[in-house]
Structure 1
Amino acid sequence: MVRERIPVYVVTGFLGSGKSTLLSRWLKEAPFCNAALIVNEIGEVGIDHATLGFSGDASMLLADACVCCSGLPALNEALEQLFWARLHRSVARFEMVVIETTGLADPGPLVAALSLNAFVKERYRIAGTFTTIAANNAIDTLARESVARAQLQGADAVIVTKTDLVDAEELVLAEAKLRDAYPGARIAHSAHASFGLHDALALLAQPAPRAESTFALPFSRLRAHDAVTHFLAIDEASDIDTLHTHVLDIQKQYGESLLRLKGLVRMKDRDSIAIVQFARGDARAQITYASMKADEVKSGLTLIVKANAMR
């Protein structure tokens, strides 16, 4: 008897491209609302896993390791654990698995590793990879970041996010650059995470633009990333304005070397937690309040910075 393998969807995209915001919407829609979720984050404190709003009980966080580098055994182990938990009904029966990678992950080695692990290969199959890229810095990201180019090369569907932050001419230029670099790529647009899961799966189902999958990548592509993480502990911030000022000081200190900043910070004025998000290209950090207990989080900011800036 041929065992029906569990489909695996990979969601990737460079730092700050809006993949977590988009995935947060998708996880509330069928069929992803019945999925198991694996979130990979670089940095000792993961906030994407805490802020996705996923209500299912089959979820795992792989923190402080990039799965395309040192975290591949942990990913295979997570998939094995999920399979046995599903079989023994210790978690609700999920119909698929969704993996959100860190923004520094090249999906090629990740997918190749899944196909080489005998247990995982027999029980799971790659159903597709979505890659996000932010419209407001797409051209700059393509020019500067080899990881972003690798993510797009390995994509089954490309979603240009944050289209509300650019005018029509800028969007046309960005898409033209993408189509020139990746001829025949399936490309869609999303503003304010408006691109729904139904449309995303329909995009994925369009005829494949390439005869062969670009996921069959050799392990020689595994390499150290040209970025480092640093956790800046903050016991508490007095108010939002003070926190914004602190983030602005960090932006000035690192300049273009600051790729990403995110974290959970205790707020004295509200006795609550603030979620802080900033990516290169943003004019200002996004700070919102989170519905979680202040004593349950490690308060501070994770900085992802070009390696030469930390020397």
Structure 2
Amino acid sequence: MKKRLPLTVIGGFLGAGKTTLLNRWLREANGLRMAVLVNDFGALNIDAELIAATHGDTTALTNGCVCCQIGDDLGRALVEVIDAKTPFDAVVIEASGVSDPWRIAQIGMAAPELSLEGVIVLVDASAVAQQAKDPLLADTLVRQLKSADLVVVNKADLATADALAGALAWVEATAPGTPCIETTESAVPLALLSGVPHADAAPHVCGPGCHDHHGHHGHAAPDHGALFETWSAQPDAVIPAATLRAWLREVPPGVLRLKGLLRTGESDWSEVQFAGRHGSLRKASAPAGDARAGVVAIGLRGRLPDAALKDFFVP
């Protein structure tokens, strides 16, 4: 069974921090082969030491990632990524600052080789409340926000207390219930919505503090430890697919991202994914060798529902 390529779409108005986020993820790839598709190739300004070669609208990076300019044909660009001689682990599309990221996500969803992991939308904490009052901008901002699985209120350090409060109030009023985090310099960990393969997830998200396989904590990355935390476990029990699907419809508040490989029958295995507001369960191959089932959840520090996660996965 060929694994579908995880797709993440990044949206947000001009100046919200999308390019900063992409550069951060490229620097933190840690062996993950990402294909990043952008509208404005020059705006990425990739660190020189990461660039291995440039050919037309494509730049190959030393860490195995590539950046491609979409041009006028996103579908063609996606086909090239899907058919790449050396397979990618994830694809990330940056929507232009005035476009609707959900329309881009729908194009990606049309390809059976891709699996939509989520739409992350950034807003500028210091400007969005004022921008939303502009009748020429309001519709664009609202459409972007309503497509989000996760809203990142970025540049919180540059906003006054009133501006930050206004930004958060506008986000909640426009997209009530959508997970929302505050951050500076687009400090969102790659593991949060990148579709990192499960086999690689634990080393990336679980730090030295991990000591117990049945519900333990770690940091999403050294520089994100103050904001995010993880919970992980290796469940021994069979969790029926129907039970998992029901749980995914009512994921406890505080879980921003969850992924895992779980036994759902005597000889059946499933890959479970949850990002922001949406979860999925797909049949999967049994882990190789003596590898066990595993699940990792990520959330804001102090808000991850450890007890609820433990009660369900390792009662």
Looking at structure 1, the residues matched to 98 and 256 of structure 2 have their Cα atoms a distance apart, in angstroms, of 23
Task: Label 1:148 to 1:31 Cα distance change in 2 as closer, same or farther (>3 A).
Answer: farther
Which of 257, 273, 284 matches 1:205? 257
Alignment of 1:27-66 (within 5 A): 27-30=26-29, 33-41=32-40, 46-51=41-46, 55=61, 56=64, 58-63=66-71
1:273 maps to none
Give the drift of 1:5. Answer: 0.5
The more displaced of 53-62 and 183-192 is 53-62
- TM-score, with structure 2 as normaliser: 0.54
Give the drift of 1:186. Answer: 0.7
Alignment of 1:174-213 (within 5 A): 174-198=167-191, 204-205=256-257
Which amino acid letter does the alignment assign opposite residue 39 of structure 1? V
CA distances 1:237-292 after superposition (whole Å, capped 9, x unpaired): xxxxxxxxxxxxxxxxxxxxxxxxxxxxxxxxxxxxxxxxxxxxxxxxxxxxxxxx
1:149 maps to 142
Which amino acid letter does the alignment assign opposite residue 8 of structure 1? L
Give the drift of 1:194. Answer: 3.1
Identity %: 29
The two structures, once aligned, show a CA RMSD in angstroms of: 2.8
State whether residues 39 and 48 of structure 1, in contact with CA within 8 Å, keep that contact through their aligned partners in structure 2.
no
SS in 2 for 1:38: strand
Alignment of 1:122-271 (within 5 A): 122-144=112-134, 145=137, 146-198=139-191, 204-205=256-257
Looking at structure 2, the residues matched to 152 and 189 of structure 1 have their Cα atoms a distance apart, in angstroms, of 15
Q: For structure 1, which runs of at least 5 residues remain unmatched after alignment?
A: 64-70, 214-311
Task: Label 1:96 to 1:211 Cα distance change in 2 as closer, same or farther (>3 A).
Answer: closer
| Matching of residue 99 in structure 1 with residue 93 in structure 2 | yes
Give the drift of 1:141. Answer: 2.2
Which amino acid letter does the alignment assign opposite residue 4 of structure 1? K
Which amino acid letter does the alignment assign opposite residue 170 of structure 1? A
State whether residues 186 and 209 of structure 1, in contact with CA within 8 Å, keep that contact through their aligned partners in structure 2.
yes
Give the drift of 1:57. Answer: 5.0
Task: Label 1:32 to 1:178 Cα distance change in 2 as closer, same or farther (>3 A).
Answer: farther
Looking at structure 1, the residues matched to 103 and 187 of structure 2 have their Cα atoms a distance apart, in angstroms, of 30
1:110 maps to 104
State whether residues 189 and 195 of structure 1, in contact with CA within 8 Å, keep that contact through their aligned partners in structure 2.
no
Which amino acid letter does the alignment assign opposite residue 47 of structure 1? G
Looking at structure 2, the residues matched to 31 and 96 of structure 1 have their Cα atoms a distance apart, in angstroms, of 13
Looking at structure 2, the residues matched to 36 and 153 of structure 1 have their Cα atoms a distance apart, in angstroms, of 25
Give the drift of 1:62. Answer: 2.0
State whether residues 20 and 52 of structure 1, in contact with CA within 8 Å, keep that contact through their aligned partners in structure 2.
no
CA distances 1:51-82 after superposition (whole Å, capped 9, x unpaired): 3666345321124xxxxxxx4xx111111112
SS in 1 for 2:112: helix
State whether residues 39 and 99 of structure 1, in contact with CA within 8 Å, keep that contact through their aligned partners in structure 2.
yes
Which amino acid letter does the alignment assign opposite residue 128 of structure 1? G
Looking at structure 1, the residues matched to 155 and 141 of structure 2 have their Cα atoms a distance apart, in angstroms, of 16
Task: Label 1:62 to 1:208 Cα distance change in 2 as closer, same or farther (>3 A).
Answer: closer
CA distances 1:101-160 after superposition (whole Å, capped 9, x unpaired): 2111112222222333xxxx2211111111000011111222332112111110111101
- TM-score, with structure 1 as normaliser: 0.54
Task: Label 1:52 to 1:23 Cα distance change in 2 as closer, same or farther (>3 A).
Answer: farther
State whether residues 58 and 82 of structure 1, in contact with CA within 8 Å, keep that contact through their aligned partners in structure 2.
no
Looking at structure 1, the residues matched to 147 and 176 of structure 2 have their Cα atoms a distance apart, in angstroms, of 13
Alignment of 1:9-28 (within 5 A): 9-28=8-27
Task: Label 1:31 to 1:40 Cα distance change in 2 as closer, same or farther (>3 A).
Answer: farther
SS in 2 for 1:143: coil
SS in 1 for 2:116: strand
